[in-house]
C-alpha cells in the first residue's frame, strides 16, 4: 500500500501462494499497475499456479536449468511472461551462524521427534528457485524503464512486460 502512496517504477515479489488475492490485495495490485508500476513475481517452485504471478499484467517469471531448459522445480502456466536462469544462483547470506530447521529423528519409543539443528550456510551459497530469478528480471525491467524515461517516453507496465517477452 505504501508503494501506491509513494509510487515506484518496479516491484520484485519473490513470494507466492495458491490462492488468488483478496479484494483489498487485488485493488492494490490494480492501483499499482494503473499508476505505472511494473510488478515482477516469481512463479513458484513445484506447486500449482501461484499468485501474485498469475495476476494479469504481472510479469510472471519462471526458471531455467543449467542447460537452458525449464527447471524441473519451476511452475509453469499460460500466464508465464519470461524465464531466466534459476539453478545454482549465488546469493549473499548472513555472516553469522544460524540454522534453517531441525533434522528428523526417532525417539526412544520409535515416534518422530525433533532432531539436531540443521546448520545454515553463511556468507554465500548457490540456491535454486524462481525467487532467485525474479530479482534479475526486475533489474532488467528497471533498466528498460530508465532508458524509456531518458527518452521522455516512459513505458507502461504492459509495455515492459511485452519488451521482456520479446
Q: What backbone torsions phi and psi does residue 28 show, to the nearest 5 degrees? A: -65, -45
What value does the mean pLDDT take over residues 51-57?
Answer: 93
Label residues 79-109 b or e (16+ Cβ within 10 Å = b): bbbbbbebbebeeeeeeeeeeeeeeeeeeee
98, pLDDT greater than 90: no
Q: For residue 64, what are the CA distances in angstroms to 39, 83, 84, 115, 132?
A: 20, 6, 5, 34, 11
What the block records as the C-alpha cell of 128 is 535454486
Does the pTM surpass 0.95? The reply is: no
Do 144 and 61 meet the contact criterion of CB atoms below 8 Å apart? no
CA distances from 94 to 68, 89, 97, 114, 125 (A): 30, 16, 8, 24, 10
Q: What percent of the chain has pLDDT over 70?
A: 99
**Banded model confidence at residue 54, pLDDT cuts 50, 70, 90:** very high
How far is the C-alpha of 73 from the C-alpha of 45, rounded, in Å? Answer: 5
Whether the upstream peptide bond of residue 52 has omega within 30° of 0, thus cis, is: yes
Question: For residue 63, what are the β-bridge partners?
Answer: 84
What local confidence, expressed as pLDDT, does residue 37 receive?
97
Phi, psi (deg, nearest 5) at residue 108? -60, -25
pLDDT band at 146 (very low <50, low <70, confident <90, very high): very high
Give the separation between CA 63 and CA 86, rounded to whole angstroms: 5
| Cα 129 to Cα 89: distance, rounded to the nearest angstrom | 8
Name which residue leads in pLDDT, 147 or 95: 147
Is the pLDDT confidence value at 51 over 90?
yes
Amino acid at each position: 500500500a505504501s508503494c501506491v502512496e509513494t509510487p515506484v517504477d518496479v516491484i520484485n515479489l519473490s513470494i507466492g501462494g495458491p490462492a488468488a488475492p483478496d479484494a483489498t490485495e487485488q485493488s492494490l495490485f490494480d492501483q499499482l499497475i494503473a499508476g505505472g508500476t511494473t510488478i515482477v513475481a516469481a512463479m513458484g517452485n513445484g506447486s500449482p499456479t501461484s499468485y501474485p504471478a498469475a495476476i494479469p499484467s504481472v510479469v510472471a517469471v519462471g526458471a531455467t536449468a543449467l542447460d537452458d531448459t525449464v527447471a524441473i522445480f519451476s511452475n509453469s502456466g499460460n500466464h508465464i511472461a519470461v524465464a531466466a536462469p534459476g539453478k545454482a544462483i549465488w546469493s549473499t547470506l548472513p555472516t553469522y551462524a544460524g540454522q534453517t530447521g531441525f533434522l528428523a529423528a526417532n525417539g526412544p519409543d520409535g515416534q518422530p521427534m525433533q532432531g539436531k539443528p540443521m546448520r545454515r550456510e553463511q556468507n554465500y551459497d548457490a540456491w535454486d528457485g524462481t525467487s532467485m530469478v525474479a530479482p534479475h528480471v526486475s533489474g532488467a525491467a528497471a533498466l528498460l524503464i530508465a532508458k524509456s524515461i531518458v527518452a521522455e517516453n516512459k513505458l507502461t507496465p504492459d509495455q515492459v512486460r511485452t519488451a521482456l517477452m520479446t
